[in-house]
């Protein structure tokens, strides 16, 4: 019979997938530690470019772990990974374009 949906091992052995579960909990601790660090930084580092840059980097690291491990993208085929990541380039452009626009509006009104 053709199996359209699945190709996983049928296994009632609780030891199966132990390695995967270990990776899941490791990812959980990484996300928790980064979030805690964000709190620490929020109240210790003075507000400015440095603080914002640290936050953005930490956010991207968290996104990497959520998408890569929880959503399993890291373990998909290369074509799938790139099909998902390449469109994000439009978001990068949107950020750049509208930040410049926001600055221009500020200059026009308050500059």
Partner 1 sequence: MASHVTTPGAVEPKMWLGGIEPMKASYGKLMMWFFLISDTFTFSALLVAYGTARFSFPAFTGKHEDFTFSNMYWPVPERVYEAVPFLHGISLPLVFVGIMTFILIASSVTMVLAVEAGHRMDRANVEKYMLWTILGGFTFLGCQAWEWSHFIHGTEAGSVMKVIENGTWIEKTIFGANLTENQYGPPAFADFFFFITGFHGTHVFSGVILNILIFFRAATGFYDKRGSYEMVEKVGLYWHFVDLVWVFVFTFFYLV
Residues that bind partner 1 (CB under 8 A): 2-14, 16-17, 20-21, 24-25, 27-28, 31-32, 35, 38-39, 42-43, 47, 51-52, 55-56, 58-59, 62-63, 66-67, 69-71, 76-77, 79-80, 83-84, 87-88, 90-91, 94-95, 98-99, 101-103, 105-106, 109-110
Shortest reach from residue 110's CB to partner 1, in Å: 6
Shortest reach from residue 43's CB to partner 1, in Å: 8
Residues 52, 5: Cα–Cα separation, whole Å: 45
- The helix/strand count (H/E) of the chain reads as 4, 0
Three-state SS at 43: helix
Residues 109, 111: Cα–Cα separation, whole Å: 6
Residues 56, 50: Cα–Cα separation, whole Å: 10
Shortest reach from residue 54's CB to partner 1, in Å: 10
């Amino acid at each position: 019979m053709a199996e359209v949906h699945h190709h996983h091992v049928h296994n009632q052995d609780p030891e199966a997938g132990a390695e995967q579960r270990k990776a899941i909990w490791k990812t959980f601790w990484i996300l928790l530690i980064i979030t805690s660090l964000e709190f620490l930084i929020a109240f210790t580092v003075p507000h400015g470019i440095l603080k914002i840059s640290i936050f953005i980097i930490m956010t991207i690291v968290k996104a990497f772990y959520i998408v890569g491990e929880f959503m399993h993208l890291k373990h998909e085929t290369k074509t799938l990974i790139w099909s998902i990541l390449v469109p994000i380039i439009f978001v990068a452009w949107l950020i750049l374009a509208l930040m410049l626009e926001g600055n221009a509006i500020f200059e026009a009104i308050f500059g």
